Structure 1
Amino acid sequence: MQSNNNHQETLSDPEEEEITHLSSSTPADNSSGQTHPLVGDDHDDAPVGSHDKDLGMSEEAFHDFIEQQVAKKRSNEPLSLKDKLSIWTIGILTFFVSIATILGTGILGLPVKLYQTGFWPFFSTFIICFIMQAMIILYLTEILQKTELIMKEEHGKKESLEEENIMQEKTSEQDVEDITHTNSNDQEEEEPIETIEQVGTTSVPVKEENKEPIVFEPDLHTIGRLFLNRVLQILFDFSVIIHFISILISYSIAGPIAIASLFNIKDYYPYFIPGFVLILTIFVLLLERFLSHIISAATIFKGALLLIMVGLVGFISQQTKLNFTDNFQYIGHPFLIGTVSLGGVMNTLPCKYSKIVRQSQPPAVVNEDEDETTEEMRIRVKALKIQIFRWSAILGLFVCFVINVLWCLFVLRIVPQESSSTDKNYPSLHKSKEKGEISTVPIIEIIKLKYPQYVWLGYFVQFFISLSITVSFCTMSAGAKHMLDGYVKTFEMAQQRVGSVASRFSEFLYSKMTFLKHKPSRMSLLLKIVLYGATFLPTYVMAQINPRSFLTVMEVFTSMALNLESGFFISLILLISCRARYSHHVISVPLPKLFIYATVGIVAAYFLFAVVFDIVYSIIGWAWPEKPF
């Protein structure tokens, strides 16, 4: 009777409890003859264990079936409001950070390079550039996921070695304790026993109890270290650093130009460079966590202003209706700076991916109420975050593509490509190119000359450009800091390996600087100071020495480093990550292998061509200033 009542309660439970009930008892254990909807009731009188035979499945297969049913039900569970907000927050932040990264100085310098090309030759190469940059975002998302898994695997191996070392130390201590018990009197053996017990009971458990969960945050340096050989890794790291430095130099020049123009003291902009660079660099290095929220809010504000600015400039272009000429002979002129105008997002995406990793970590203190359902939901939410992270970055790239195209079209409708033969002082794109000016400078001059009623628009444009470059400088500086911190983490890991170069170098510094030995964390701080100085100090020096080198820096150094780093190397790393040795790493949101093998060669060839073109273009430009292509 009691068995029947229990059976009725089981039937009245929800479906998940039914599945859980079945998973806790195999068909062979159902000796009371009870039935269940998932199993059937045709064999109530069958002897014990006959369900296995009648269902045609073993006990192990039955458990697998139950687990599949449970997983299927859990995968259909609705997400909580907190998870939905977390997912959409990642998407929105990634979208606006992508825009902040891409819409930096590229959009300002791009129209200036169209003084010979015109619009349609530029558009034909720019749309191909957009497709290739979108492919890089897809590739990088794949690589970041695999890098995270490999970092976890490396840490697991390291912990296994540490546990073996601890066991060996404990064994050695036990041997010493036995010898002490044998060869010492009772009074002498109490102290060592207490000391050994104290070491054993305080150091090891405290280490385990207070140990915070390790967060495996992939960065560009770690990506190169895990997938490339030593030579290629150095070349990859060098290209990343050169790209960061060159793009920050261009920001350091364009930012002060915009700020000085805002206050009508354009000729004095070199005096704004020290304050612009030093103040923002200090803010990023010391207040990155706090500044990240400000940057996110400023980026959203910047996006709104950007739409307004493009619309207003489009309105002015309808007033002027200036005709422009196209010449496909000079199609190569805007090609390099076009890759810069849509590139660079891969340098900041690892920062946003790290936020996904941190949010997906289990809590340091495990809640007793949490079960495997919570962990499965955490994995599911992380996969959704990665998906929206990837597509938000591509959407941000597409928005930047559209804005760049519209901006170039509107500038060509307002600013003449060449100076007028009657008035050599009238603003033109060719004149701005020779002076190294950004494209907003001639626009504002023309508005002041021909449309004084819209002079307020000029100030609005300058305010937007000043804000845009400031936000972009902070965003790229944070990306550079994230990579440099990756160097420090790699050094800290290598420092723990006995006999490694990092370990020997640390011992040498400890012998020379005793203040480092008493607090090892100071070694990491010293390394950070050196790396930050080696990256951000050249930014200021180069911008101050040659403040009119805006376009040269963008075309030669930024484009070459960017195309080599984000195009060729990312494609190569993706191919390497598809090898058999990495096949056991199952990622949450994979790309189809057929898609990878069908596209990666084309993408790598495109960016490798851009690198070669950059070299040839620079050599010809030095020997023949008026390039015929």
Structure 2
Amino acid sequence: NKRTPFLVLAYLYFIVIASVLGTGILGLPVKLSHSGFKPFVASYTLCFFMQLLSIFFLIEVLQRIYSIIKANSILSTNSFSSSPIDDRSRNEIDVDNTGIPKNNIQLDILNHNSGTAGRRIINSSSGVSPDLNNENNNDTSELSESTDIKASSNGGSSIKSSPTLNDRSEGDNDEETMMNEKLEKENREDNENLIQKEEQEEETKQAHSSTEKETETPNLHIIGLKFLGPISYAFFIFSVLLHFCSVLIGYGLAGSEAYAQLFSIDHSFLIFPVILLFTIIVIFGSKSLGRIITLFTFAKGTLLMIIVFITGIISNHVQNNISNDWSYIGKSFLISTVALGGASSVLPVVFPKIVFTKREIKKCYTVAGSALFTVYILNIIWCWFLLQIIPQVPNPNNPGFPSLEEAAIHGEIATIPLMKVVSESFPQFLWIAYLVNIFIVISITISFITVGTGFKHTLDGFSITWRKKSLSNSYHEEEDGDEFYNNTNSGSGLGNANPITQSHDEDDNDLLVLPASVQDSINGSNNKLSTKFKIMVERIKYKIIHQTRKAKLWIYSKINLVNSKIDDKEGQSTMEQNFSVRFPIREFIFYIGFFGFILLVALMNPKGFLQVMESGTSLGLNLQSGTFMVMMLQFARSHYGQYSIPLPVHNYIYNLRYFVFAYFTFAVLYDFYVILF
């Protein structure tokens, strides 16, 4: 009966809008200068349904990978609970050859030299059954009776019999009492130690499970690693990185232009501080950005409604004639895929917050689809109003008047020609220019932070995999080193041998001896010159192989050295312990590398917003959310169908995967055509 909180569903709705809406508002209208409105609506509607199916496929894939992670987490928790925490705690009750627990049984031999019979003292708190205590007491009483009979039969002999339990002195009783108290104290301490160790084990298990929950969450890296082959995974990750980097570069360029318009300065001076500020917010504020993104996306949507309403009023005063040309339908095709894409980048961030039941997953489908439909409607209305206000092509009688074609040539966002038209023709609506500037600033800021959060989520998946591999390698190296040390110590005087240097020496010796097959072929030759030549060629070949092996060993040793140093700085110790990261070095290596690359490209290409959006973003997005998404869905169903999920897509929708695959594959091929020609 557990339900997903309303704020989580609202966050899902607004984060999908924030990741998708920005590109359509900024770049879509300027690509309609030749095609017009009707061809755009036709291609855009088809794109909407394909993107909607892609989102549904992604939600099923996320369910499958989440089910696998949960199953592996349960298995690892069970194996962790059964692993030996402390050998002493596992062997508190030691068993001797007779099968009697001997750690809790103390043998007190009294007057051994005088032939005194031994007695067994068994503490009732030691876990031994009361029947055993009674049996031992009966044995002791029988022993005392037999000694009494023996003493009486001697008839007062000068040889004293062994003292019985009834004839013990007070000193013996005090000694027995002290021994019992000592045993009770030791047993109490042992029980307390066992309880403490069980509590520590339970806390460690809880920490382990919480660590698994925090670190192993569905992300694009894990999805591709699980549901794609090595080659397909490499292309998929390339498309993911290309999409993220190109989108963030485009938002960085558009953001600098928007802030420059707001403060009336040159936008080239704002590229560096804008991208740097956004990056810092993404890296250090990602845990608290959920409500901020929800709030500002709601404000962004409200401002957009106001702007669209005012733009509609202005369009009624202008009413430009819109020319439609179906031969240019491809001009808006690629930017349409970008204008409705991007949800696949942020859905993995929100999905772990959804309750994993059929009813709640159905809400996830509904909310994500509703968010995409909202963006679809807003973009169509926005493009219709701008086509009525801004001329599609330059006016020959007034070449200085702004147009959509000139904006596309200069790589400008759609609001720049809009503000020029309003300032020249409708000064009474000039106040809307400031409102549009504020909207664009908020829109780009939220879009950059939203997509950047999804990018950070994927980079965190890379760093977690790197960390686990490093810990696993160091753990196995320690086991191999211990095994080698034990084997050599058990041998004859090889305890101080180094396995690496020893293998190198063996390789050097192997160079002097050629394989038997090669030696036979050389010996079978009668020509001495050819024999020497063959020997030289074979030794050169083996020398190359040997040097290659040495180079690989050297590279691996340096990589392991770097990993060990990073592990020490991060606070890692062994594979079995939880991740205790004091300073996430691996994460910051990825952050600095990729966000630094985004900043560098933005500084080198300050006027390439539309070019970046059309070329890089559309290619990466179409590969990621279309071609590879269908491949992963089909592989997940065929190879991991045993992992049950709450709500897979219906078979009718699943059968449409071939249309989705064909659509996005065509988009990828068209991307290459546009880039090359």
2:238 maps to 1:238: yes
Q: CA, structure 1 residues 466+170, in 2 after alignment: closer, same or farther (shift >3 Å)?
A: same
1:352 aligned partner: 350
Please state whether the residue corresponding to 2:407 is helix, strand or coil.
Answer: helix
Does the C-alpha gap of structure 1 residues 392 and 471 become closer, same or farther in structure 2, counting only changes over 3 Å?
Answer: same
Alpha-carbon distance between aligned partners in 1 of 2:570 and 2:452, rounded to the nearest angstrom: 31
> Which residue of the partner structure matches residue 606 of structure 1?
663
* Cross-structure match for 2:202: 208
2:50 alignment counterpart = 132
Cα distance, 1:169 vs. partner?
A: 5.8
- How many angstroms does 1:260 deviate by? 1.3
Report deviation, 1:406: 1.2
Paired with 1:123 and 1:329, the residues of 2 have a C-alpha distance of 14
Instruction: Tell me the CA shift for residue 159 of structure 1.
Output: 3.9
Q: CA deviation at 1:95?
A: 1.5
TM-score, structure 1 as length reference? 0.74
Change (3 A) 1:470 1:271: same
Q: TM-score, normalised by structure 2?
A: 0.69
- Separation in structure 2 between the aligned mates of residue 481 and residue 565 of structure 1, nearest angstrom: 17
Gap change, CA 1:310 and 1:500, over 3 Å in 2: farther
- Distance in 1 between residues matched to 2:191 and 2:618, nearest whole Å: 62
1:226 aligns to 2:231 (yes or no): no
Q: 1:288 offset after TM fit, Å?
A: 1.5
Kept in 2: contact 1:90–1:385 (CA 8 A): no
Letter in 2 for 1:535: F
Mapped to 2, the partners of 1:150 and 1:584 lie a distance apart of 10
Return the match for 2:674 from 583, 593, 617: 617
Partner residue, 1:261: 261
Matched ranges for 1:431-442 at <5 A: 431-442=406-417
Residues in 2 aligned to 1:317 and 1:501: alpha-carbon distance in whole angstroms: 70
The verdict on how the C-alpha distance between 1:244 and 1:307 changes in structure 2, with shifts beyond 3 A counting, is same
8 Å contact kept, 2:11–2:293: no
Q: Specify the alignment match of 1:376 in structure 2.
A: none
The CA distance in 1 between the partners of 2:321 and 2:198, in whole Å, is 77
User: In structure 1, how many angstroms separate the alpha carbons of the residues matched to 2:236 and 2:9?
Assistant: 28
Q: Which residue of 2 aligns with 1:150?
A: 68
Pair 1:499–1:174, CA change in 2 (3 A): farther
Compute the displacement of 1:544 (Å).
1.2
Q: 1:273 to 1:430 in 2, by over 3 A?
A: same
The 2-side partners of 1:539 and 1:194 are apart by 64
| Structural mapping, 1:151-300, within 5 Å | 151-163=69-81, 165-166=83-84, 205-210=199-204, 211-212=206-207, 213-214=209-210, 215=213, 217-265=217-265, 268-300=266-298
| 2:6 counterpart letter in structure 1 | W
1:495 to 1:383, Cα distance in 2 relative to 1, 3 A: farther
Residue 470 of structure 2 contacts residue 563 of structure 2 at CA under 8 Å; is this kept in 1?
Answer: no
Q: Alignment partner of 2:270: what SS?
A: helix
Aligned to 2:518: none
Pair 497,111 (structure 1): closer, same or farther in 2 beyond 3 Å: same
User: C-alpha distance in 1, partners of 2:627/2:406?
Assistant: 35
1:593 matched to 2:591: no
Identity over aligned pairs, percent: 33
Q: Is the 2:622–2:664 contact (alpha carbons within 8 Å) kept by the matching residues of 1?
A: yes
Q: Does 1:526 align with 2:444?
A: no
Q: Does 1:457 align with 2:432?
A: yes
Q: List 4+ stretches of structure 1 deviating above 6 A.
A: 170-181, 193-201, 499-506
Paired residues of 2:11 and 2:294 also in contact (CA < 8 A): yes
Give the structure 1 partner of residue 606 of structure 2.
Answer: 547
The residue type equivalent to 1:298 in the other structure is F
Per-residue deviation, 1:467: 0.7
Runs of 5+ unmatched residues, structure 1: 1-78, 187-192, 361-378, 621-629
Which residue in 2 is equivalent to 1:561? 620
Whether the aligned pair in 2 keeps the contact of 1:90 and 1:389 (CA below 8 Å) is no
Equivalent position of 2:562 in the other structure: 509
On the 8 A contact 1:492/1:524 being kept in 2, the answer is no
Provide the rounded CA distance (Å) in 1 between the counterparts of 2:469 and 2:93.
31
- Cα separation, partners in 2 of 1:207 and 1:486, compared to 1, 3 Å: farther
Deviations 1:87-133 (A, max 9, x none): 43333222111111111123211111111111111111110000001
Q: Deviations over 1:153-208 (max 9, x none)?
A: 22334345545652896799789999999xxxx9xxxxxx9999999775664142
- State how far apart, in whole Å, the 1-side matches of 2:671 and 2:572 are: 48
Matched residues, number: 509
**Residues 330 and 160 of structure 1: CA distance in aligned 2, closer, same or farther (over 3 Å):** same
8 Å Cα contact 1:87/1:388 also seen in 2: no
Q: 2:22 aligns with which of 104, 118, 121?
A: 104
Deviates more, 1:88-97 or 1:510-519: 510-519
- Cα distance between partner residues in 1 of 2:200 and 2:284: 31
CA shift in 2, pair 1:115/1:165, >3 Å: same
More moved, 276-285 vs 496-505: 496-505
Shift of 1:148: 0.7
Q: Which amino acid aligns with 2:395?
A: S
**TM-fit CA distance, 1:497:** 3.1
In structure 1, C-alpha distance between the alignment counterparts of 2:8 and 2:335, rounded to whole Å: 30
Tell me if the contact between 1:126 and 1:338 (Cα under 8 Å) persists in the aligned partners: yes
Output aligned runs, 1:33-72, within 5 Å.
none
Decide whether aligned partners of structure 1 residues 110 and 174 sit closer, same or farther in structure 2, where only a CA change above 3 A counts. Answer: same
C-alpha deviation, 1:490, in angstroms: 2.5
Counterpart CA distance in 2 for 1:239 and 1:469 is: 22
Return the letter of the residue paired with 1:107: I
C-alpha displacement of 1:560: 0.1
Task: Identify which of 370, 380, 384 aligns with 1:409.
Answer: 384
Deviations 1:562-619 (A, max 9, x none): 000011111111111111x4222221122223431x2111101110110011001211
Cα gap change, 1:391/1:291 in structure 2, threshold over 3 Å: closer, same or farther? same
Letter in 2 for 1:101: S
Once the two structures are TM-superposed, the CA of residue 422 in structure 1 deviates from its matched residue by: 2.1
User: Do the aligned partners of residues 354 and 517 (structure 1) sit closer, same or farther apart at CA in structure 2, a change above 3 Å counting?
Assistant: closer
The residue number in structure 2 matching 1:487 is: 462
Tell me how far 1:499 sits from its aligned partner.
6.6
SS of alignment partner, residue 117 of structure 1: coil
In structure 2, the residue matched to 1:93 is: 11
Inter-partner Cα distance in structure 2 for 1:513 and 1:259: 39
Q: Secondary structure at the match of 1:542?
A: helix
Counterpart amino acid of 1:299? Answer: T
2:124 aligned residue:
none
Mapped partners of 1:125, 1:99: distance in 2: 20
CA–CA separation in structure 2 for the residues paired with 1:315 and 1:419: 23
Q: Which residue of 2 aligns with 1:8?
A: none
Which of residues 416, 419, 424 in structure 1 aligns to 2:399?
A: 424
Alignment deviations for residues 335-371 of structure 1 (CA, whole Å, 9 cap, x no partner): 0011000000111111111222xxx4xxxxxxxxxxx
| More deviation, 545-554/90-99 | 90-99
Report the Cα offset of residue 263 of structure 1: 2.8
Q: Which runs of 5+ in 2 are unaligned?
A: 109-186, 479-555, 574-579
Report the RMSD for the aligned CA atoms in angstroms: 3.5
Give the match's secondary structure for 1:105. helix
Query: Based on CA coordinates, which of the two structures has the bigger radius of gyration?
Result: 2
Conservation of the 8 A alpha-carbon contact between 2:275 and 2:599 = yes
Q: Distance in 2 between matches of 1:600 and 1:301?
A: 36
Contact 2:34/2:392 (8 A) holds in 1: yes
In the aligned structure 1, how far is the partner of 2:635 from the partner of 2:671? 26
User: What's 1:141 paired with?
Assistant: 59
Question: 407-416 or 230-239: which moved more?
Answer: 230-239
Q: 1:613 to 1:482 in 2, by over 3 A?
A: same
Q: Give the residue type in structure 1 aligned to 2:664.
A: F
Structure 1 517/221 Cα, relative in aligned 2: closer, same or farther at 3 Å?
closer
Distance between the aligned counterparts of 1:517 and 1:177, measured in 2? 43
Displacement of 1:510 after TM fit?
5.9
